[in-house]
Structure 1
Amino acid sequence: MTASRDIVNVKRGEESVERDRFPRIVIIIMIAEFCERFSYSGMRAFLTLYLRSKLGYSDEGATEIYHVFSTFVYFFPILGGILADNYLGKFRTILYLMFVYAGGNMLVAITAIPHLEIPKRLCTLLGLFLITLGTGGIKPCVTAFGGDQFVLPQQEKQLALYFSILYFNICTGSLIAKTVSPILRSDVHCFGDKDCYSLAFGAPGFIVLISIVVFVSAKSKYVMKRPEGNLLFDFVKCVSLGLKNALIKGKTEKQSHWLDSTQHRYDKRFIRDVKKTLSILTLFTVLPVFWALLDQLGSRWTLQATKMDGRFGFVTIKPDQLQVIGPISILILIPLSQKYIYPYFEKYNILRNPLHKLTLGGVLAGVAFIASALVEIYIKTTYPELPQLGYSQLRIFNGNPCPISIQNDQQGIIYSIPSLSHYTNKHMQVKGTEDIRLNISGDCIDTRDELFTLNEKKAISFFVNGNNIVRFNENVDKSKSGLPFVRFLVSDRVDLTNVTLFNEKRNEIETYIYAGASVQMEVFMSVYSIRVRDKVVLSEMSMDNGGVYNIMIDKNGDDYTAKIVAITEPNSITMALLLPQFLIISTAEVLFAVTGNEFAFKEAPESMKAVMSAFWLLTEAAGNVIIIIVTRLFINYKQETQSFIYTGLVFTSIAAFHFMSRNYQFGFADEEVRKERRSNSEVLYQQVKQAEDCLEH
């Protein structure tokens, strides 16, 4: 085994070579990081849809699990940093946690196979926990490990180039993953389903395995630095000791600050750095609310998109693909803002410092959620009317070749149902379970009285097939996956030799059709025809996302007839209405997240930058906790109401932040111990490391 190199010596004759050469070994690290980012971003894009459509969680339950997952992702960097800096070193921390990461991906992928008799929810949650442990622990190590491969100060320029390339690499991985993963999820079907979540989860897991092979292949060539200890421990110990002394022993008259009581254990410079860090963290206490809004792009906003029409001309956008707007907008807005927008506003004394940008970013996040609430109110006009408390919905389908009449004088029902048509009453007053007596008559059926059993807060349908009546529960709500629902109502007169639903676009049989009332099933959004052997009975049937359809089939003599009935209209409002809120929130992210990263880095003392980075990540974890709390407290509130609640929270938190930041003193009071200039490469190092987090939303 080749020993790790702790110190790199540069000989005089080789100094010019080292200064100009870009370490090739970092390319291996960038490839491994690309694979890891591809896996994480791809899996995260459709996670909420999987939890809702396959594991049966409600919108609130899927949202809660998604944000618990995100909370752990931004908590475990603390653990990864501690392991790398105190015990294992960066290389071994990355390697071990990659195996944990891959194991979690594979467990979720196997669990997503439909017909396996395993506890799917438990195994999925366990797999997600392993993924958070892996990706969260890797997060603070990979970029720093790449920086260790450069010899400073000889390779400062190459280090800056490395960060730029790595930044582009991260963006590329995120964009490709968020575009490709929804295609693997929805356009490939496996195990009898209309989608293939097992492939969508398995592909990122396979990519992680590739990254492990790539990463380990260059082990003997890495520069590996020994663990030097994590300053976060010392920071926590110093603050704890100061609080203990202040609360238990009290301050002496000579001490002007409660941390001064720790001078017997820590030097004055370290205590001064802790004081400065705490002043910044005080401002951070009100910032998690911003992340509570931003992190809902992958949960609530994705669920909102499932109820809208994603067709843009010849292209159909999937709900989870909308998330690519975020990184694309950020890549465009960052250079524009730095080059043109910020200099323009500075001329007019606007956005003078980072705190002003943070405030504006928070306000824009609230505006984005107002836009989201308004879109939700508009979308609700197309939502189906669901059965309400105290009422039942009654539908009667006539599968006979002649019209039939139904009558009930007490209920005021007198209606003639044409052949292959239906009667609907969405407001039948019912308490518990009640029987409704209807007189049924027609030329092709016996006249008689029939009892129709209805249930409160249920949609009940009846299929009149000759003298037989089939009762079934009607699901009138849109499917959780967003795909069309279809049910077949087939009379006994139909010859069931090879009756099929044919997908015209895919040129394949979608399903075979049998007599009676079938179960409700999901199909692809497409154009269909009903075929009896090679004969087309009904053609040009468009079944679009969000629609709920019943197809009635009958035979009169030698002639087959069929008709499609839309129980619930498909999604009709274009996803283009979501673009403004995505663009506004992306602008807010550039103003808030990118500026916040810069502010935290520049204002943090030299000895506290790692601590500040850790606490900045924790603000996002806290934001996801806020989402979980709000979801639990307001579980029965409408989606638009919750959006307005988040708007109120962020406006309140930003107002508090603006008030708290008015007297903030930039820089250090002790200018003699402050470095006048920081290395450009060091600045880029921190910015790129934290830019990775911005691109994951």
Structure 2
Amino acid sequence: MSLTEHTATDVITEHSAPIGADPTGPEMFGHPKGLFYLFFAELWERFSFYGMRALLVLYMVNELLYSDNVAIGIYAAYGALVYATPVLGGMIADKLLGYRKAIMLGAVLMALGHFALAIEHPIFFYGALALIIVGNGFFKPNISTLVGSLYKQGDKRRDAGFTIFYMGINIGAMLAPLICGYLGHEYGWHYGFGAAGIGMLIGLIMFWNGTRSGVFGQNGLPPSQEVLNEKVAGVTRGAWVSILSVVSLPIFAILLFNGTMDIPGLGQVSLDGSLIDIIMYYILLPVIAIVLFYNLVKVDKVERERLIVVILLTFFITVFWSFFEQAGSSLTLFAERNVNLTFLNAAQTNSINPFFIVLFALPFSAMWLFFSKMRMNPFTPVKFALGIAQLGLGFMIFAWSANYADADGRVSIWFLILGYMFITTGELFVSPVGLSKVTELSPVKIVSFIMGIWFLSSSFAHHIAGIIAKLTSVSGSGDGEVGGMDSLLVYTSVFEQIGYVAFGFALLALLLTPIMRKWMHGIH
């Protein structure tokens, strides 16, 4: 996810070509050829991810008959975990596997997970989500970092390259709800989940083909093949990573589970979803804080201040995603219950945001380059403030729609589309810009770990988003028939509050801009 405004300093990691070498290799359309293999691999991986996401809450509410609270809780836990595992995946790639092997392992696990969702059984349901969580941890941070490693230090094409990569993400995210949502709605939920699995398999093949054809050069290889092949208890370290990944699956399934289930041989098993709260806030967050503090002390003054800026940007992106991620839960249920869906079903409304990304990404990229040449380009903190404000405006539009509802408590789909448009322009101000700044501002030896921290912000954001979404809960039975004026007022009142809070954080980002600009030390 990367679109930036200024000449970027590349990330030369332990797995990249050495400084002074040209890591780009063969080119296509003025960019490293490897970029386009990563483009299509990420496109299909995001197709699988967002195709499943568009169906998940609706499937739980309408098919599994979970209440809003339970479905939103599971969705929030899944979102939190799927963006927490990249911290570990980034560290393992940095120290042991290298980007390529981590990406391949992640792709295999996610493909298995999406296909497992097509099997109707609670154990397969939770096991499938666990596979996707673990697989995403290996895949997501490392494919983004591999994109950055394709460009040599100071390459002015780097920002545009991340923008192309971001387009691949959103083309996949746009097509997935349309196709998977259609199949799920017309033929059955599991046809939609199966289509997501096929998408992941195509992404896996695309990346594997790229590694075979040599388009990545020396980038993404293990830091030490000898260490990777070294045996521990008779098994290589690389094999231990795969084994422990599989062993961890029941743990993640348990963290997701929130309710009671009949398990053959065990009878009824009940678990409390608050386990994930303990893991995130009492274990994960302190560990991350300690590691960050250690690195802040270890690096020099310039690196320290730049890293502090990354932490502040991560805070603001967490705020942004906490509101933005209503899209997969409360906004999807709002669309089903209180929007006149004339040409899209509720699952397919998840394609509106990526549609606008695809529409606006290249014009935004050109706009930043134009502003940069004119020396009018806003600094990154200003862009964050403007992006959060636009998100707030989008939610205010959702809230204002209540004034134009019909007698059944339904509003025009154009309110949904217009609100999503402003949320999307806000995203283009923060997400692609922020991702590129992480790779620029982070100390080079821990760049994948910091990239994992960046994705971890989405983990905490999903958890917070679940708390917010539960404020919109209007269903206790999970029958999927809730609607009317009562639910409309519940949804729109929460959306209005989100809008006001977003405006407040936008103002805070503006106030912090001078000090953040100083600490970026020349990076725009």
Q: Structure 1: which 5+ runs fail to align?
A: 1-5, 10-14, 112-117, 189-195, 243-258, 384-570, 670-675, 679-697
User: 2:504 maps to which residue?
Assistant: 652
User: 2:386 maps to which residue?
Assistant: 360
For the pair shown, which has the larger CA radius of gyration, 1 or 2?
Answer: 1
Indicate the SS of the match to 2:340: coil
* 2:346 counterpart (294, 307, 319): 319
Specify which structure has the bigger relative contact order, considering alpha-carbon pairs within 8 angstroms and separated by 6 or more residues. Answer: 2
After TM superposition, the structure 1 = structure 2 runs for residues 92-107 of structure 1, keeping only pairs within 5 Å, are: 92-107=101-116
C-alpha distance 61-147 of structure 1, shift in aligned 2 (>3 A): same
Structure with the largest fraction of strand: 1
For residue 128 of structure 1, report the CA deviation from its aligned partner. Answer: 1.4
* 1:372 counterpart (395, 398, 407): 398
After TM superposition, the structure 1 = structure 2 runs for residues 186-585 of structure 1, keeping only pairs within 5 Å, are: 186-188=185-187, 196-216=188-208, 220-222=212-214, 223=218, 225-227=221-223, 239-240=292-293, 266=298, 269-270=299-300, 272-282=302-312, 284-307=314-337, 308-311=339-342, 316-339=343-366, 352-376=378-402, 378-379=404-405, 381-383=407-409, 573-585=411-423
For residue 42 of structure 1, report the CA deviation from its aligned partner. Answer: 1.4
User: 1:139 maps to which residue?
Assistant: 140
Q: Deviations over 1:403-431 (max 9, x none)?
A: xxxxxxxxxxxxxxxxxxxxxxxxxxxxx
Residue 358 of structure 1 contacts residue 591 of structure 1 at CA under 8 Å; is this kept in 2?
yes
Residue 288 of structure 1 contacts residue 623 of structure 1 at CA under 8 Å; is this kept in 2?
yes
Indicate the SS of the match to 1:67: helix
For residue 45 of structure 1, report the CA deviation from its aligned partner. Answer: 1.8
User: 1:173 maps to which residue?
Assistant: 172
Q: Deviations over 1:613-642 (max 9, x none)?
A: 333322222221212233456757922232
User: 1:399 maps to which residue?
Assistant: none
After TM superposition, the structure 1 = structure 2 runs for residues 17-166 of structure 1, keeping only pairs within 5 Å, are: 29-111=38-120, 118=121, 120=122, 122-145=123-146, 166=165
For residue 237 of structure 1, report the CA deviation from its aligned partner. Answer: 6.2
Q: Deviations over 1:282-341 (max 9, x none)?
A: 454354222111111222222122133222xxxx22222223221222233334345459
Q: Structure 2 CA distance, aligned partners of 1:656 and 1:337?
A: 24
Q: Deviations over 1:627-673 (max 9, x none)?
A: 2233456757922232233234323333333333343343566xxxx
Indicate the SS of the match to 2:64: coil
Q: Deviations over 1:379-422 (max 9, x none)?
A: 48414xxxxxxxxxxxxxxxxxxxxxxxxxxxxxxxxxxxxxxx
Structure with the largest fraction of helix: 2
For residue 74 of structure 1, report the CA deviation from its aligned partner. Answer: 1.8
Q: Structure 2 CA distance, aligned partners of 1:353 and 1:151?
A: 23
Residue 91 of structure 2 contacts residue 449 of structure 2 at CA under 8 Å; is this kept in 1?
no
For residue 69 of structure 1, report the CA deviation from its aligned partner. Answer: 1.9
Opposite residue 649 of structure 1, the aligned amino acid is V
Residue 385 of structure 2 contacts residue 505 of structure 2 at CA under 8 Å; is this kept in 1?
no
C-alpha distance 337-240 of structure 1, shift in aligned 2 (>3 A): closer
Q: Structure 2 CA distance, aligned partners of 1:105 and 1:342?
A: 39
Indicate the SS of the match to 2:515: coil
Q: Deviations over 1:186-228 (max 9, x none)?
A: 222xxxxxxx111110122133234445544665554452227
Q: Structure 1 CA distance, aligned partners of 2:441 and 2:16?
A: 30
Q: Structure 2 CA distance, aligned partners of 1:665 and 1:30?
A: 32
User: 1:661 maps to which residue?
Assistant: 513
C-alpha distance 367-50 of structure 1, shift in aligned 2 (>3 A): same
User: 1:642 maps to which residue?
Assistant: 494
Q: Structure 2 CA distance, aligned partners of 1:622 and 1:7?
A: 30
Residue 83 of structure 2 contacts residue 459 of structure 2 at CA under 8 Å; is this kept in 1?
yes
Size of the alignment, in residue pairs?
Answer: 425
Opposite residue 304 of structure 1, the aligned amino acid is F
User: 2:456 maps to which residue?
Assistant: 618
Structure 1 length normalisation: TM-score? 0.53
CA RMSD of aligned residues (A): 4.2
For residue 143 of structure 1, report the CA deviation from its aligned partner. Answer: 4.3
C-alpha distance 276-26 of structure 1, shift in aligned 2 (>3 A): closer
Q: Structure 2 CA distance, aligned partners of 1:142 and 1:210?
A: 16
Q: Structure 2 CA distance, aligned partners of 1:74 and 1:65?
A: 14
Q: Structure 1 CA distance, aligned partners of 2:33 and 2:373?
A: 41
For residue 152 of structure 1, report the CA deviation from its aligned partner. Answer: 5.4
Residue 37 of structure 1 contacts residue 173 of structure 1 at CA under 8 Å; is this kept in 2?
yes
Indicate the SS of the match to 1:79: helix
Q: Structure 1 CA distance, aligned partners of 2:416 and 2:440?
A: 35
Residue 310 of structure 2 contacts residue 437 of structure 2 at CA under 8 Å; is this kept in 1?
no
Q: Deviations over 1:63-105 (max 9, x none)?
A: 3322322222222211221121112222322222222212221
C-alpha distance 207-161 of structure 1, shift in aligned 2 (>3 A): same
Q: Structure 1 CA distance, aligned partners of 2:27 and 2:453?
A: 36
Q: Structure 2 CA distance, aligned partners of 1:142 and 1:211?
A: 12
Residue 26 of structure 2 contacts residue 33 of structure 2 at CA under 8 Å; is this kept in 1?
no
Q: Structure 2 CA distance, aligned partners of 1:94 and 1:30?
A: 14
Opposite residue 96 of structure 2, the aligned amino acid is Y
C-alpha distance 620-381 of structure 1, shift in aligned 2 (>3 A): farther
For residue 271 of structure 1, report the CA deviation from its aligned partner. Answer: 5.5
Residue 283 of structure 1 contacts residue 657 of structure 1 at CA under 8 Å; is this kept in 2?
no
Identity %: 22
For residue 139 of structure 1, report the CA deviation from its aligned partner. Answer: 0.8
Q: Structure 2: which 5+ runs fail to align?
A: 1-14, 228-286, 475-488
